[in-house]
Structure 1
């Protein structure tokens, strides 16, 4: 693993375990088992450390979900129809709440910090754009009459479910419940029965 990855992984762990206040250059050095000053040499400022951490989170989430690019065929690429889209979206949400919980928690810590740091907001928005563009692409392929608006709504629904499960009182929904919810959302968007 490259030093950037080691530092970013330690930063992610600190965000999950201690929150934003526990993320310092010194704490990252200690958590990563690096000599003091190593993180500062790599990411001089707090903003640089946060950007490095967010870049690693984005990379991990893209890899975890094997995110397709527009036009890719096959699972988990562009879904063949509404039923497959509902299945894919339910699986993505469930994964973020179970084996991807660590990255989800760290991403929410960074999302809140981005509301106070314009330089991080720019990085955060750029990273999130890929996920939104994918939602638009799959909804276009599924026949949405307004894929841009529907893509925004689909992402907002998913984020709401995740937030409720992670920070709210909702708990982690079963995959079957997520699948049913996605079918209902898609039925409304696509104007037909999704599954």
Structure 2
């Protein structure tokens, strides 16, 4: 089986247009994580970021645009955790290590980012325009997972990527906001669980 070509990084994952754009998006993320979506307003972002009144409105004129900017920035920052996996022919060990490290980061130092993303995921179920952004960004991560799993020996990398992303998202939700929030798995626990999951995923017979 030939190795699939490297998936292009979605345009939305490009660097922000300016430091101010990044500051506005990062501040919006922090407010969502702290106060929920009800606490996110253009004025609140200006005040929390120490910017002149109207700065956020100039960057994102509508609430929908502000939500999209925050979601895109979350994807940029999360994507950075997986850049080492884009090396040529990464071994399965590297996939396991970076996955465990990335998930643990999402549940510890990166928890505010995770909580903001979960808030936006729920909001996307009610806002078609945000759903489009969320799905487009998610497709970029699944494409990367499919590429790596193909190199790890998957016969159906796209199918396996969907399953692997679901596993990661399930662990993150359970530990960040679900019934398992009282226990944050260690990197070693996450690595062992991912190894067991991938062993089944890559070795199971296809119907």
Root-mean-square deviation (CA), in Å? Answer: 1.7
Counterpart of 1:36 in structure 2 is: 53
- With normalisation by structure 1, the TM-score equals 0.88
Q: Secondary structure at the match of 1:17?
A: helix
> What is the 5 A alignment of 1:26-175?
26-66=43-83, 68-69=85-86, 72-73=87-88, 78-81=89-92, 83-170=93-180, 171-175=183-187
- Compute the displacement of 1:113 (Å): 0.8
Q: Deviations over 1:113-170 (max 9, x none)?
A: 1111111111111111111111111111011122111110000010000000100131
| Separation of aligned partners in 1, 2:96 and 2:20 | 39
Counterpart of 2:26 in structure 1 is: 9
Structure 2, gaps ≥5 residues long: 1-17
Structure 1, gaps ≥5 residues long: none
Q: How many residues align?
A: 185
Q: Secondary structure at the match of 1:172?
A: coil
| Separation of aligned partners in 2, 1:67 and 1:96 | 17
Larger RCO, structures 1/2 (Cα 8 Å, 6+ apart): 2
Q: Is the 8 A contact 2:149 2:157 kept in 1?
A: yes
- Compute the displacement of 1:79 (Å): 2.8
Counterpart of 1:184 in structure 2 is: 196
Q: Secondary structure at the match of 2:178?
A: coil
- Compute the displacement of 1:67 (Å): 5.6
- With normalisation by structure 2, the TM-score equals 0.83
| Separation of aligned partners in 2, 1:167 and 1:188 | 27
- Compute the displacement of 1:41 (Å): 1.8
Q: Deviations over 1:45-103 (max 9, x none)?
A: 1001111111211111122332644xx32xxxx5313x433223222211211222221
| Separation of aligned partners in 1, 2:151 and 2:158 | 12
After the TM superposition, which parts of structure 1 deviate over 6 Å for at least 4 consecutive aligned residues? none
